[in-house]
Amino acid sequence: MSKVRTYQQLLDFNQNIHLAVTSLQEVSTMRMQKARSAVLETRDYQDAIHSIFSSINQAHKDEIEDLLSQKSWWGSKPKKITTRNTNGKKINVFSAPDSRFSGSIANTVFRDFKQAVDRDGSKADVAVIGQVGIELFKNTFGDTFPATFFEWHESAFDSAALAKVSDFLLQYQEVDIYHGVFSSLVQQN
């Protein structure tokens, strides 16, 4: 009789475990369905936002093309339309770190920058950002080539310095910036 009671207890215990597992599966299924619904709603929302953005972007392009195709009051078609006033000039900008601990990336990027400065000559202005860049520029060109220099400290964000650089660059029609790119801890381009 004792064995029958022990088997009955084991059977009851197994049934209780089965009920608990089944309940947990149902709760898990409901949570997964809720998460899936949230993902689908988010995806639908993003698709709607993208659709609105695409429509606005296309309408803007169409309007610009329409304006460019029309003759102006002086009788010729404009070549381009801009929403800000610029000086119509080009500037080559070299952005470098403020310390020498950046490896050889500053020298590598500076070579490309120097080629652009040599190619453009006096047709383009020059700006240099960062202490390493200023040193490289002065060592290469001396004081014979006019340039605008900006101090930039990587250790702390300085909104005033950023505004100063941005305001300076906004006056130019074309801005070419030469800077390094951090790909990984081992590789920089």
Mean of pLDDT values over 141-166: 83
Q: Which pLDDT value is given to residue 33?
A: 84
First-last CA distance in the chain:
81
- 51-99 pLDDT, tens digit per residue, is 888 888 888 888 877 777 776 555 565 555 566 677 888 999 998 877 6
Please tell me what DSSP assigns to residue 34. Answer: H
Look up residue 80 and give its two tokens: 């381009």
pTM: 0.55
Which ranges of 80-174 does DSSP label H, i.e. alpha helix? 105-120, 131-141, 159-169
- Listed as own residue / partner, the contacts of 143-147 with beta carbons closer than 8 Å and 24 or more positions apart are 145/117
Task: Give backbone dihedrals phi and psi of 150, rounded to 5 degrees, phi first.
Answer: -130, 130
Exposure string of 54-85, with b = 16+ CB inside 10 Å and e = fewer, is: eeeeeeeeeeeeeeeeeeeeeeeeeeeeeeee
